Amino acid sequence: MKIITISREFGSGGRELGKRLAEVLDYDYYDKEIITAIASNKGLDEDYVARSIEQDRWQNIPLTFHQSVAGIPLDTTHTDLLLEQKRVIEEIAKKGKNCVIVGRNADVLLRDYHPFNIFVCADMEAKIRRCLERSPEDECLNTKEMERKISKVDKSRAQTRSLVTGGSWGDRSAYHLTVNTSSWNLQELTLAIAEFSKSWYERTSS
**Rounded to the nearest whole angstrom, what is the least distance from the CB of residue 20 to its own copies in the complex?**
14
One-letter amino acid at 89 equals: I
**Rounded to the nearest whole angstrom, what is the least distance from the CB of residue 206 to its own copies in the complex?**
8
Answer yes or no whether residue 129 interacts with its own copies by CB under 8 A.
no
Of the candidate residues 33, 123, 141, 166, the single one contacting its own copies (CB under 8 A): 123
CA distance 160 to 196: 29
CA distance 2 to 113: 8
Binding string, residues 146-185; x marks residues near its own copies by CB under 8 A: ------------------------x-xx-xxxxxx-xxxx
Answer yes or no whether residue 122 interacts with its own copies by CB under 8 A.
yes
Q: Is 91 helix (H, G, I), strand (E, B) or coil?
A: helix
Q: Are strands 28-30 and 3-8 parallel, antiparallel or unpaired?
A: unpaired
CA distance 109 to 121: 21
Residues 6+ apart with CB under 8 A from 57: 75, 78
Of the candidate residues 107, 134, 204, 205, the single one contacting its own copies (CB under 8 A): 204
- Binding site residues, its own copies, CB under 8 A: 119, 121-124, 170, 172-173, 175-180, 182-185, 188-189, 191-193, 195-196, 199-200, 202-204
